[in-house]
Amino acid sequence: MPQLNFKLLLMLLFVSTLSSCVVSSYDDPCVISGKVTDSVGIGIPEVLISLKSKLYEDSLKTDANGNYVINLSEAGNVELVFSKTGYSSKSSNLVLLGGEKKKYDVTMNTLLEHMYFNPETKEKTVLNTGGIFSIGIYTNMLFELESKESWISCTKYDSFVYIKCDSNETTEERIALIILKPEGKPNDTITIRQLAGPVLRVIDYTGLKSTSFLQTKPFVTFSREITVVSASASNQNLQYELSDDKKTINFSNIKFSAFSPMPIKLTVKDSDGIQLSFELDLKLFINTQSLPSHNGQKYIFTNDDKYIWVYTVNGYSYTLRRFSSTDLKEETPITLTQSANIFYNPYNNSLYVTTYRSFEDRQVSDISIYNAETSAFISKLTIDLNYNTISDMAFSASGYGIMILGNELYYIDSANEHKCGLFSTLSMLYDQHEKSRLIPSHIDMCNNNKTFILYGVDISGATSVYSYNPENRVLRLVFNNGENYDVVTNNFVDVAYCFNENSTKIICMNVVNFKAKILNLPSTGVRNLAVLKADGTDPNILTSNFSLISVDDNSIKNFTHQGDSYYIKSSNDGKLVVLNYKGTIYLYQSEIFTKYYNYIK
């Protein structure tokens, strides 16, 4: 009996082992079923379900209630992707056993539910000095921005808003709203709060701005009312006066060099009692530019006085340099391949660059034309007239020009395809002592580019000045004198100023009404002069040794500065002066020579 029980026990153990070792087959079919719902549990119909396994790919869609059933022919890894327009896609990787029936429900969110838009801060306070800063925007959305306040500007770069604030010159705190406009979400705002001003700072001083000189003494102007603690230059105290509004300091005992700045030190207190110190360089000139040695003896102002052109030579390098008349900063130059003469045409605002070359058995003049505003090359002409080359040329406002070629004058009409021809054979233009010798050797323009001035010296040393009106084609001899005179004019006047360094007079010849005015000098004459705009009817004359002569009343202001003879020229409106001093160009407002003459040493 015990032996039978033992056999029965072994049989039961064997059966039990068989049942526990049964493994499902990998090839048995599987089923995945479930429901796709939204964030509140409602079934989503027509959700595309893409499935991919080792052996095949397939797809199906959920039914009207969001249910789905996927029958698989075998077990293994299955990748599922649930997608529908307007919803964020969802993907899953499932592992199924043979014969398994897996329940797999999915929740899908709408795209808006997945979007986020969070500014780093909703409010920022900035100093009254202004400045630039950025605010981060944490978002996965596209957005635009807008700010309507004029003192603030905003730009967007990636997920940052860059903000630039002007300084607050008012006495009140001010607020600007930056409106953020995310796509598909309500607008958001950032509030920028700026502290009250104004900031105590220097806003103007002699030599800082080039627009006009508002004061008749050297000055420094602040943004707020101040009291002066100390003012000095070269360790010497400066005498000063405070303006009625207590914002401007005027100095009465300063003496400037025309060619170098004057460092001064100021310590002031603002209306809040805060003490601040400033170090400034007062100067009479706007700016300077260096030139190669022995260069820059010819300046060309464009007709609108926007640019100054200077022809320079450095070894075998020939360059037309263009400077802004606002600050004398250099802009696009023109590089030339050989030595040249430079002329200007106000009709087309162009530079005429003349060079010479041999052609067959004679010399011809090539004219390269450049836009004086942009430096761009326009076209090229060749002048082949009687084997002569161009020595001088000028154009009127209508485009009609006159050229000197050898011992003859020719016209050139830029308004008529640069048609050329013999200008005149009038005997008055030729030397009575040598009939074939042309007297005019220089041509200039005045009277708003309406009147030509032609001048030169005959074989005896006598100077003749002619005027020519291109509208009525009338040539007149307006001045003839036995002395050898230089002649200067300007576009804003209708007068030729005749002078030399040995004569004690300047002869002012009106080339329209032919009346003369004599300016008497106290001693020797002048080597060069420029014509400046003045408050009276007639202009002022600035001589090359810094003397100022009023054409109105012949009054003369002699500056204490007595230096070399400088090459000087004024702009077409007489409001600017350029001067060459030891290889450096200086640009001045002409007002400094009329308002500041007592302060130049």
Q: Which residue has the tokens 């500014």?
A: 119
- DSSP H or E run through 556: strand 556-558
pLDDT tens digit string along 87-146? 888 899 999 888 899 999 999 888 777 778 899 999 999 888 788 999 999 887 788 999
Q: Residue 429 — pLDDT band, cuts 50, 70, 90?
A: very high
Residues 6+ apart with CB under 8 A from 215: 206, 248, 250
- pTM here? 0.67
CB 506 within 8 A of CB 498: yes
Alpha-carbon distance of 591 to 574, in angstroms, equals: 10
Predicted pLDDT of residue 47 = 95
Predicted pLDDT of residue 291 = 85
Please determine, for residue 541, whether its predicted confidence score (pLDDT) is greater than 90. Answer: yes
Residues 6+ apart with CB under 8 A from 87: 38, 44, 47, 108, 109, 110, 111
Give 362-368's long-range contacts (Cβ < 8 A, gap of 24+).
362/387, 363/387, 363/388, 363/389, 364/389, 365/389, 365/390, 365/405
Predicted pLDDT of residue 25 = 65
Q: Residue 35 — pLDDT band, cuts 50, 70, 90?
A: very high
Stretch 231-258: mean pLDDT = 90
Q: Which residue has the tokens 């040695």?
A: 293
Stretch 318-323: mean pLDDT = 94
What sign results for the dihedral spanned by CA atoms 350, 354, 355, 360?
A: positive
Alpha-carbon distance of 196 to 134, in angstroms, equals: 21
Stretch 408-419: mean pLDDT = 95
Report CA-CA distances (Å) from 117 to 159, 163, 182, 225, 394.
10, 19, 7, 46, 68
Q: Please report, to the nearest 10 degrees, the dihedral formed by the alpha carbons of residues 520, 526, 531, 532 taken in order.
A: -80
Q: Residue 23 — pLDDT band, cuts 50, 70, 90?
A: very low
Total Cβ atoms within 10 A of residue 70: 20
State how far Cα 541 lies from the chain centre.
Answer: 33
Alpha-carbon distance of 533 to 492, in angstroms, equals: 9
Q: Residue 583 — pLDDT band, cuts 50, 70, 90?
A: confident
239 secondary structure, DSSP code? P
Q: Residue 14 — pLDDT band, cuts 50, 70, 90?
A: very low
249 three-class SS:
strand
CB 525 within 8 A of CB 501: yes
Least confident of 174-183, 193-202, 233-242, 413-422: 193-202
What is the bridge-based pairing of β-strands 123-126 and 188-194?
Answer: parallel
Most confidently predicted of 4-8, 60-64, 502-506: 60-64
Predicted pLDDT of residue 18 = 41
Predicted pLDDT of residue 19 = 39
Share of the chain above pLDDT 90, in %: 56
Q: Please report, to the nearest 10 degrees, the dihedral formed by the alpha carbons of residues 234, 236, 239, 240 taken in order.
A: 50
Please determine, for residue 281, whether its predicted confidence score (pLDDT) is greater than 60. Answer: yes
Predicted pLDDT of residue 13 = 44
Please determine, for residue 21, whether its predicted confidence score (pLDDT) is greater than 50. Answer: no
Stretch 259-265: mean pLDDT = 91
- DSSP H or E run through 333: strand 330-336
State how far Cα 451 lies from the chain centre.
Answer: 35
Stretch 30-38: mean pLDDT = 94
Residues 6+ apart with CB under 8 A from 293: 583
Cα Rg, the chain, nearest whole Å = 44
Predicted pLDDT of residue 557 = 82
Mean pLDDT score across all residues of the chain = 87
Q: Residue 65 — pLDDT band, cuts 50, 70, 90?
A: very high
Predicted pLDDT of residue 220 = 93
364 vs 62, residue with greater confidence: 62
Please determine, for residue 211, whether its predicted confidence score (pLDDT) is greater than 70. Answer: no
Please determine, for residue 5, whether its predicted confidence score (pLDDT) is greater than 60. Answer: no
Total Cβ atoms within 10 A of residue 110: 14
Alpha-carbon distance of 32 to 93, in angstroms, equals: 12
Burial of 22 (0-12, 13-18, 19+ CB in 10 A): exposed
Stretch 281-305: mean pLDDT = 86
pLDDT tens digit string along 551-579? 989 988 876 555 556 789 999 999 999 98
Alpha-carbon distance of 489 to 479, in angstroms, equals: 14
Stretch 511-529: mean pLDDT = 89
